[in-house]
Amino acid sequence: MKTRKTIQSICLASLFCLAITDILQAQVDVQSDGAVKIGDLSKAAHLSGSSLEVAVNKLFIYPTNNINGAFTIYNNTVPAPVGGGGVVITPSSVNPYTNLPTYIEPQAAGKLNLGTAAKPLGWVYVQGMTSSSQRTTSDRRVKKDILDLPSSMAAIRALRPVSFNYDTGKLPMDPSWADGHAGFIAQEVQSVLPGLVSYDSAADLYAMDYISMIPYLTKALQEQDSVIRQQQELLQAYAEALAELSGQVSALEALPMMPTKAPGFPAGDGNDGTLSRCRLFQNVPNPASQETRIRYELDGETSIARIGIYKMDGKEVSLHALDGSQGELIIDAGELAPGMYLYSLIVDGQVQDTKRMVVTE
């Protein structure tokens, strides 16, 4: 009886093994060249030789011990880049229980997420990158201590834009990407805008955040725009003042000539009405808003000489006595209302010359 039960047990075990073998054969394909494919066998294997291919909906690989360093990928027993664009992970860099499942998440066809908002990737080192769009998180809800940038025009002036080529002997990269670059020197920018420069002690390299320079450039452009607007307003004011002065000049030119006999000097004072060799010069500066100077020269036969200041309608504003054969009369333009005036050199009761003077605010 015992022998019969033993035989029955052996038969049942054999049948179970055969069933398991059929199931495994349906999921595992071992090729004659040593390649092994596990999972979906409806499609041809991509590998050959001593290789392993896994085709499943989801794949979880993790050690039985939840400790750092328990999950390792090696290439020829030495951590190094894996062919085909893979990455070797050193024994202590990844905890698969907390990080690995969220680092690479396949989405819809043609889409692959690297990291998530809750568990973003750390540093990613690349030689080049091409994309149709790039975004930086800028949500107000995740920012604090928000302040307006101070004036940045001085900082922008201090920057030195340069063109350069990368030294592939010191920074390994594809030689075709090494030449024809433009930018800044991180160490120079650090002395001007230190917040834009970082230092990677592991790689012993300085890096610069070019994107964060945009707000400083924007601030500088705003400051420049403010200056330009002020200058435009000032030019407009000058243009209006010039138009007003041009109108006054036209009105002056339309006036009849002033008489050669000055007010207060009766006729028959011994002067025959002929002009002497006295000279009157244009005031400097002209226009004037504060002090202006009027130079004059008198001949040796002059008895009484004065310079009179008049409004455009001929009304006298002031009369100044002159001393010596030549000199300068200083007029305080700040005491005069803005506008156009006439000033005349009067010698022995005769107007020798008349010129225009413009007073501004």
pLDDT tens, residue by residue, 129-144: 777 777 888 899 999 9
Res. 271: pLDDT tops 60 = no
DSSP 248-270: HHHHHHHSPPPPSBPTT--S-SS
Amino acid at the residue 57: N
Res. 206: pLDDT tops 90 = yes
Residue 81 per-residue DSSP state: P
Q: Say yes or no: 91 and 168 in one domain.
A: no
Give the CATH number, domain containing residue 307. 2.60.40.1930
Q: Say yes or no: 79 and 157 in one domain.
A: no
pLDDT-above-90 percentage for the chain: 33
Would you state the pLDDT for residue 187?
96
Domain final position from 159, 191, 212 = 212
Which residue has better confidence, 53 or 189?
189
Domain residues for the domain of 58 are 2-102
Amino acid at the residue 350: Q
Res. 275: pLDDT tops 90 = no
Q: Say yes or no: 8 and 82 in one domain.
A: yes
**Is there a domain that residue 247 lies in?**
no
**Is there a domain that residue 137 lies in?**
no
Domain final position from 61, 84, 102 = 102
Would you state the pLDDT for residue 255?
57
Cα separation, 217 vs 223, in Å, equals: 10
Q: Say yes or no: 97 and 7 in one domain.
A: yes
Would you state the pLDDT for residue 96?
41
Q: Say yes or no: 95 and 169 in one domain.
A: no
Q: How far is CA 219 from CA 120, 239, 261, in A?
A: 31, 30, 65
Strand partners, 343: 309, 355
**Least confident residue range of 114-118, 154-158, 217-221:** 114-118
Which residue has better confidence, 30 or 171?
171
Q: Could you tell me which residues come within 8 angstroms of residue 271 by beta carbon, excluding any fewer than 6 positions away?
A: 348, 349, 350
**Is there a domain that residue 51 lies in?**
yes
pLDDT band for position 245 (50/70/90)?
Answer: confident
Q: Say yes or no: 80 and 157 in one domain.
A: no
pLDDT tens, residue by residue, 64-114: 665 555 555 544 444 444 444 444 444 444 444 344 444 555 555 556 666
Would you state the pLDDT for residue 268?
36
Domain final position from 194, 212, 230 = 212
**Is there a domain that residue 138 lies in?**
no
**Is there a domain that residue 238 lies in?**
no
**Is there a domain that residue 80 lies in?**
yes
Q: Say yes or no: 95 and 6 in one domain.
A: yes
The 3-state DSSP class for residue 272 equals coil
Q: Say yes or no: 95 and 172 in one domain.
A: no
Would you state the pLDDT for residue 128?
72
**Is there a domain that residue 31 lies in?**
yes
Average pLDDT estimate for 244-273: 55
**Is there a domain that residue 249 lies in?**
no
Average pLDDT estimate for 234-262: 72
**Least confident residue range of 10-24, 136-150, 333-347:** 10-24
Average pLDDT estimate for 59-67: 61
Cα separation, 101 vs 60, in Å, equals: 8
Would you state the pLDDT for residue 303?
81
Torsion sign, CA atoms 266, 268, 270, 272: positive
Total structural domains within the chain: 3
Q: Say yes or no: 94 and 159 in one domain.
A: no
Q: Please return the burial class of 319, using the count of CB atoms within 10 Å of its CB with bins 0-12, 13-18 and 19+.
A: middle
**Least confident residue range of 26-30, 116-120, 303-307, 319-323:** 116-120
Cα separation, 58 vs 113, in Å, equals: 15
pLDDT-above-70 percentage for the chain: 66
pLDDT tens, residue by residue, 142-200: 999 999 999 999 999 999 999 999 999 998 888 888 999 999 999 999 999 999 999 99
